[in-house]
Structure 1
Amino acid sequence: MRHLFILLLLISISLNAQTNQYQISFDNAVHHEAKIKVSFPDIKSGKLHLRMSRTSPGRYALHEFAKNVYGFKATNSKGQPLTITRPDPSSWIVSDHDGTVNIEYILFANRGDGTYSQIDETHAHLNIPATFVYAEDLKHRPIEVNFDVRDDLNWKIATQLEKKSGHTYAAPDLYYFMDSPVEISDHQIKEFEHQNQTIQFVLHHPGTEAEFDAYFNQVKEIVKQEAAVFNELPQYDYGRYTFLACYMPNVSGDGMEHRNSTILTDVESLANGGMKGNIGTVAHEFFHGWNVERLRPEDLEPFNFSEANMSKALWFAEGFTSYYTGLILRRANILSETEYIEGLAGTFNYVWNSPATVYFNPIEMSMQAPFVDAATSVDPVNRENTFISYYSYGSMLGLALDLELRLKQLNLDDFMKLMWNRYGKKEIAYSVQNIQQSLATYAGTEFSKNFFNNYIYSSKRPDYTELFKLIGVELVQSKEESYFGASVTETNEGLKITKNTFKNSPAYNAGLDKGDIIQQIDGEALNTTESFKDYISKQKPGATVKVEFERFGNLKTTLVILVSNPEYKIRLTKNPSKEQLKNRKLWLDPK
C-alpha cells in the first residue's frame, strides 16, 4: 500500500507540474488595462510557440486579438530574460529556456460583447481568446487561472470554469478554457433547479431586485419550454448552466453561446426596454446549448483558433435556432399569438424580397459567415443584393419545414429530438447530408428529397400561402401602395440614399445608387424622410416620377417608375375553422 501511495503521489505531482498557470490583475482598469502572467512548466521542446487567437468560439470571422497585446516579456524559472521572435503578427516564439517559460504582458480591452473583452471600473468582462496567450502544442494540458479581483469594487467572479479555491478556477484543457467566458463585477445571481441541474442567471445591471425577479421568471419559462422541445436538458459539466448577462451602458449588444454558459450584453437596462428587448437573446443562446454546442456541424470540428471557421450548416445551426427563438417566446407566454404571428413579417420580407437568392442557396449563404459575422472590411460591399443572413434564411426555412411536417401530422420538435438523439446527445458531429438522411427517416425519403432539393440545395420559396392556411394565418400583399426602392436619410444637402439600391427595384432601374442626394421629386423639394414617404405614398403603382439628384457634385435627373410595394403582412385569419385553431394550438401553446 505504501508503494502505491507514493506512486499516486508522484503521478499527482507530475500532473500538477504540467498545469499551465495564468494570473490576471486589474489595477489599471480605469484605463482598460489588465496585467497578465502565464507560466508554462516542463517544456520539452527547445522553442515554445505562443499565440493569441484570431477568432472565438461561436464566431466565424477573424478578429486579430493580438493587436491589443503589448509589453510582452518572457523569462525562465530564474527570472532571466529569454529570446523572443515574431514569426507572424499573432505569434511569439520563445527560445533558450530552462524548461520553464514565464510570460508577462499588458492587455488593452474595451469592448464588452460576446467576442472581445472589456476592462473598466464597472467590470472585467473576459472572453478568453481575446484575453490570454496559449501554446497550441500544450493544448491537452489542464489550466488554472487566478483572477486577482478588485475588492474595492466589490467584484465577484462568474464563469462555467470549475472553481478550485478562492479566486482560482480550472479548465481540463485549452479548448474548454477558450470556451469559458468570465464576468467579474458587482453582479446579482438567481438560480433554480430543473431536471436535477442548476440554471444560474448572473446579472450585472443598474436596475432593481424587482426587475430582476420579473425577468428571471421569464427566463425560467424559456428554459422549461426549450427543454420540452428535446425532452431533456443537455448534461452540463458540473451540473450547472450559467447565463452571464451584462446590461450596462458601456457594453455592445450581443449574445454568444458556450458549452455550459452564454454571454448576454446590451446597453438597454431592464427598465429601459431591456425587459422585452433582451429576452429574445436569452431564448436564442440557451437553445444553442443543444443546437450548435452539442448538436454540432462537422465542419466546425475541431474549432480553429488561428483561421476563419466556415460551415455549410449555419442555416440549420443558427437559422433553426432563430426560428425557435420566437416560437419559444410564444410558448413561454412572453409573446401573444398576435405578436408572434405578425412579428414574422419582418424576417419574411427580408428573406423573400431579397434579390440574393439568385446568387446563393442557404448552404452557400452559410459559407459567407467569415465575411459577415462581425467581420470588418474597408471596401464597400453589395450585401443588400447578394446576401441574406443565415439566421433569417434558416428561420424562415424552419418555419416552412415545421408547417410542412404538420400537414403530415408530424412536427419540427420531434425531428429536432431525432437529430438530438442521433448526434447531439452522443456529441457526434453531423453533415448537411446527415440532416437530409435524418429527415428521410422521420418524414420519408420523398419528403426529405423534395425539401432539400427545392429549399436547401436550391433557393426556391415554399408556398407559405398554403402552409399558413393550416394554422389560420394569412399572407397579405397590398397592390395599391407604391414602392420607390431606396433607403434615404436627412442631410443638410438633401435626402441621401444610404444603402445600395435593391436590384430590379424602381430606384435601381432608374440608375440611382448609394450616396446620391435627392434634391427634388417632380419639382418639389422634399427635405425630410416623412415628406418623401408621404409623396411616394400618394402616387399610384405604375406612376413615373422625375427625380433630380446630386452625384459627385453634379446635378442629374432620372425617371423612376413606381411599382406595387412587395412587402407582405402576416396576420391571423379573422374567422378560423375549429381545425385551424386546433392546429395553431398544437403549434404555439406551451408544452
Structure 2
Amino acid sequence: MKSFRFFLLFFSLFIIQSGYSQVRNEYQISFENAVHHEANITAVFSNLESGTISLRMSRTSPGRYALHEFAKNVYDVKITDSRGKDVTVTRPNPHQWDVSGHDGTLNVSYTLFADRGDGTYSQIDETHAHLNIPATFMYIPTLKDRPVQVTYLVREDLNWNVATQLIPLGGNKFLAPNLQYFMDSPAEISNHTVKEFKVDSRGTEYIIKLALHHQGTEEEADQYFEQIKAIVEQEKAVFGDYPNFDYGEYTFLACYMPNVSGDGMEHRNSTILTSKTSLADGGMEKNIGTVSHEFFHAWNVERIRPISLEPFNFEEANMSGELWFAEGFTSYYTNLILCRAGIITQDEYIEGLSKTYNYVWNSPALQYFNPVEMSYQAPFVDAATSVDPTNRSNTFVSYYSYGSMLGLALDLSLRDEDDLNLDDYLKLVWTKYGKTEIPYTIENLFFTLREYAGESFADDFFEKYIFDSQTPDFKKLLASVAIYPKTDSKKAYLGVDIAFNDDDNAVISKYVKKGTPAYLAGLEKDDVIVAIDNQSFSDIDQFNEVLKKYKPGKKATVVYRRLSEEKKVLIKFGVNPEVEITQFSKPGKKALLKRENWLKAK
C-alpha cells in the first residue's frame, strides 16, 4: 500500500521540477475586523508582460451556474507597482480593473465585506472565516496556468485553524497548481474539530476527513462521522472504487452554525456543507442527506464531467444540458444511499418518493421543456436573483428532481431487463469518462447506455424521456418492486395554495398551475376567496372542511375578491392528481426480492 508520506514527497519533487516554486501569484488575507465582516486582502502578481493587465472578480462559482457579481462586496482597492508607485487603472465594467503603466509587478490590496456562509459566498465574523474563493479573491485571467499561493493569517485569539483541499506548505500557507483548482478550493477557518479515517482504492490509501465547525459535543461529532463513513463506503460500491483524490485526501467542510445559510457544494477533493440546524437539534438526520449528495459528486460532476462545464467559466453564466444527469441522478442516489447505509429504513425511503414524484409528474412545465432544456434553465434558477415575478410554477421543474425521477425510472427499467441496474451503468460511465477524465456529452451517455443495455432499450429511453418529456409507466415500474402510486379519487381538488392573512382572508399565495380547476376558472395569485357556495371560512382548517363536502366533478360558486372588486365564478372540482407511493399489502416473493436487491447495502 502506498503511503501518504511518500505521495507528499513525490509531489514536492514534482513542484520543484515543474517550476511551481519559481513564479506564483501570491495572496494574503487577514481578519482583524471580522466583527464587522471585513477581510483585508493583498496580492502580488509578478513577471507580467508589458501592456494592460486585467484584474477581475469572478461572476460565478464552481457548482453554481448563475451570475453572482462578487465585485459588489469589494472596496478600498489600491494598485501599485513593485516600488509602490501608482499605476493607471480604468474600469471597463463593474467586475474588472484594467491596469497599465506597471513595471512587471502589481501589488494589489482591497477590503472584502462578506456575510453569507454557504456554498457560494463568503462569511467573516468572530465565529469563522468561511471562504469561497471566487467570492473572495481577485485574479488575472491570463495567468490561469500559474500556481497560486495563499497565506491565511488566522485569528489565533479565536483558536482558528484552516481546513481546505489546497496543498499545505506550512505556516498556514497553501498552494494550488493553477487558477481553476484555486477557485475550486474553499476554506473553513475556525475553531473546528477534525475526524478522519482511511480508505483503500486499488492499493492506494486515501484519508477522508471531516472538519466540523459546530456548537455541539464530541460525542455528536463521532456519531455523525460514523454515518459519513457508511455513506462513503456505499457510494464507493456504486462506482466500484474511489476517485484518485489528487493529494491523498478528501475533506468534508461542515459548518453547522446559526449564522450560516443552508447549502451544499461539491468540489474536486472537498465539499462545503452548511446548515443552521445543529446536530443536537435535528441536524443528525436533516443534514446527512447533503453529505450523501455532495460526496456522490466526487464521481458524478467532479470527474464524470460534462464537456459543457469544462473548463468552468468565471466570467459568464455556465449553461449545461446535462444537469438532469449530473445533478439529477446524483439526487436519485442521495436517499437511496442513506437507505443502503442503514441511515433511513426501506419504509422511510419508499415513503419519501412521493413528494418528488408529485412535484415532477404533476407539473404543467413538462409540456414546454424536456430534461435537457430544463437543465438549460440553471443560470436563471441556481441561486440566481431577480425582482420581477416569473411563471416558474408552470414552466419549470428542477433538474435535480426531474433527473432524480428519471434515475428511478431508468434503474427500475434496467432491473426489469435481465437483472441489469443503474449502478452497473454508472460503473461503465465511470470507467469510460470518470477515471479517464474525458468530458462527456449527452450523446456519450446515450451510446454508453446502448453498450450496456442494448440499442432498442437505450433508443427508447432517450427518445421518450430525455429528448422528449414523456412520463414513464411508473405503475408498472413500481409494481416490479411491490410498490405503487396510490391516488384519492374521492377528494375534491381546487388546485390553489391558500394562506390566511392577518385579516383572516383566504389569499391565493402562489401562481395557479395551468390545467387546474382554479386556473380554468380564471382564479389567480393574490385573489381572496371569500366563500364557496355561501360558505365562509377564517382559517385553513375551516377552508378544508368546506372542500370536504364536495366530490370530483361537482360544481360550486366561488366568490372571490380581486383588487377590491368582488366577483363570482362557477368552478367544477377535479380529481386530486397527487399520489402516495405505498407498498403492496400482499407482495409477491419475486418483487420483494427485487426490492431487496435494489435497496440493500452493497
Match of 1:467 among 477, 482, 489: 477
- Quote the offset at 1:529 in angstroms: 1.9
CA-to-aligned-CA distance 1:427-486 (integer Å, 9 cap, x gap): 000000110000000000010000000100111111111111211112211100111101
Q: Is the 8 A contact 1:547 1:559 kept in 2?
A: yes
Alignment correspondent of 1:524: 535
- Quote the offset at 1:273 in angstroms: 1.4
Alignment correspondent of 2:170: 165
- Aligned sequence identity (%): 58
Provide the rounded CA distance (Å) in 2 between the counterparts of 1:532 and 1:462: 35
CA-to-aligned-CA distance 1:357-386 (integer Å, 9 cap, x gap): 100000100111111111111111000000
- Quote the offset at 1:355 in angstroms: 0.5
Alignment correspondent of 1:26: 31
Alignment correspondent of 2:182: 177
Match of 1:242 among 229, 248, 251: 251
- Secondary structure of the equivalent of 1:125? strand
Provide the rounded CA distance (Å) in 1 between the counterparts of 2:557 and 2:159: 64
Q: Which amino acid aligns with 2:586?
A: N
Aligned ranges 1:109-124 → 2 under 5 Å: 109-124=114-129
Aligned ranges 1:309-458 → 2 under 5 Å: 309-408=318-417, 409-458=419-468
Alignment correspondent of 2:198: 193
Matched, 1:562 2:573: yes
Q: Which amino acid aligns with 1:497?
A: I
Alignment correspondent of 1:36: 41
Q: Is the 8 A contact 1:25 1:34 kept in 2?
A: yes
* Runs of 4+ residues deviating >6 angstroms: 11-14
Provide the rounded CA distance (Å) in 1 between the counterparts of 2:545 and 2:297: 43
Provide the rounded CA distance (Å) in 2 between the counterparts of 1:402 and 1:72: 54
CA-to-aligned-CA distance 1:521-558 (integer Å, 9 cap, x gap): 22233221222222213321122232222212222222
Alignment correspondent of 1:282: 291
Alignment correspondent of 1:59: 64
Alignment correspondent of 2:4: none
Q: Is the 8 A contact 2:65 2:319 kept in 1?
A: yes
- Secondary structure of the equivalent of 1:318? helix
Alignment correspondent of 2:86: 81
CA RMSD of aligned residues (A): 1.3
TM-score, normalised by the number of residues in structure 1: 0.97
- Secondary structure of the equivalent of 2:400? helix
CA-to-aligned-CA distance 1:170-197 (integer Å, 9 cap, x gap): 1010000000000001111111111121
Provide the rounded CA distance (Å) in 2 between the counterparts of 1:576 and 1:457: 35
Alignment correspondent of 1:538: 549
Task: Go from structure 1 to structure 2 and tell me whether the alpha carbon gap of 1:444 and 1:14 turns closer, same or farther (over 3 Å shift).
Answer: closer
Provide the rounded CA distance (Å) in 1 between the counterparts of 2:495 and 2:537: 16
- Secondary structure of the equivalent of 2:476? helix
Provide the rounded CA distance (Å) in 2 between the counterparts of 1:334 and 1:289: 21
- Structure 1 window deviating more from structure 2 (74-83 vs 416-425): it is 74-83
Q: Which amino acid aligns with 2:107?
A: N
Alignment correspondent of 1:4: none
Match of 2:149 among 125, 144, 149: 144
Q: Is the 8 A contact 2:20 2:177 kept in 1?
A: no
Q: Is the 8 A contact 1:25 1:149 kept in 2?
A: yes
Provide the rounded CA distance (Å) in 1 between the counterparts of 2:211 and 2:462: 41
- Quote the offset at 1:213 in angstroms: 1.3
- Quote the offset at 1:15 in angstroms: 5.3
Q: Which runs of 5+ in 2 are unaligned?
A: 1-12
Provide the rounded CA distance (Å) in 1 between the counterparts of 2:541 and 2:131: 43
- Quote the offset at 1:411 in angstroms: 0.4
Alignment correspondent of 1:131: 136
Q: Is the 8 A contact 1:68 1:109 kept in 2?
A: yes
Q: Is the 8 A contact 2:535 2:546 kept in 1?
A: no
Q: Which amino acid aligns with 1:118?
A: Q
Alignment correspondent of 1:299: 308
- Quote the offset at 1:564 in angstroms: 1.2
Q: Is the 8 A contact 2:166 2:185 kept in 1?
A: yes
Alignment correspondent of 1:3: none
- Quote the offset at 1:288 in angstroms: 0.3
Match of 2:490 among 477, 480, 485: 480
Provide the rounded CA distance (Å) in 1 between the counterparts of 2:469 and 2:177: 43
- Secondary structure of the equivalent of 1:237? coil
- Secondary structure of the equivalent of 1:78? coil
Q: Which runs of 5+ in 1 are unaligned?
A: 1-7
- Quote the offset at 1:343 in angstroms: 0.6
Provide the rounded CA distance (Å) in 2 between the counterparts of 1:348 and 1:537: 24
- Quote the offset at 1:13 in angstroms: 12
Provide the rounded CA distance (Å) in 2 between the counterparts of 1:297 and 1:333: 31
- Quote the offset at 1:206 in angstroms: 1.0
Q: Which amino acid aligns with 2:350?
A: I
Matched, 1:497 2:502: no
Alignment correspondent of 1:205: 214
Q: Is the 8 A contact 1:23 1:36 kept in 2?
A: yes
- Quote the offset at 1:560 in angstroms: 2.2
- Structure 1 window deviating more from structure 2 (526-535 vs 570-579): it is 526-535
Q: Is the 8 A contact 1:17 1:42 kept in 2?
A: no
- Secondary structure of the equivalent of 1:213? helix
Provide the rounded CA distance (Å) in 1 between the counterparts of 2:476 and 2:152: 57
Alignment correspondent of 1:578: 589
- Quote the offset at 1:234 in angstroms: 0.3
Alignment correspondent of 1:94: 99
- Structure 1 window deviating more from structure 2 (533-542 vs 128-137): it is 533-542
- Structure 1 window deviating more from structure 2 (520-529 vs 87-96): it is 520-529
Provide the rounded CA distance (Å) in 2 between the counterparts of 1:368 and 1:445: 30
Q: Is the 8 A contact 1:519 1:549 kept in 2?
A: yes
CA-to-aligned-CA distance 1:340-360 (integer Å, 9 cap, x gap): 011100000000000011000
Q: Is the 8 A contact 1:506 1:563 kept in 2?
A: yes
- Quote the offset at 1:12 in angstroms: 7.8
- Quote the offset at 1:139 in angstroms: 0.7
Q: Is the 8 A contact 2:220 2:280 kept in 1?
A: yes
- Structure 1 window deviating more from structure 2 (521-530 vs 82-91): it is 521-530
Match of 1:106 among 102, 111, 116: 111
Q: Is the 8 A contact 2:23 2:147 kept in 1?
A: yes
Q: Which amino acid aligns with 2:588?
A: S
Q: Which amino acid aligns with 1:481?
A: K
Q: Is the 8 A contact 2:50 2:102 kept in 1?
A: no
CA-to-aligned-CA distance 1:204-259 (integer Å, 9 cap, x gap): 11111111111111110000000000111100011100000111111111100000
Provide the rounded CA distance (Å) in 2 between the counterparts of 1:14 and 1:216: 39
- Secondary structure of the equivalent of 1:345? helix
Provide the rounded CA distance (Å) in 2 between the counterparts of 1:550 and 1:120: 48
Q: Is the 8 A contact 1:158 1:183 kept in 2?
A: yes
Alignment correspondent of 1:5: none
- Quote the offset at 1:332 in angstroms: 0.4
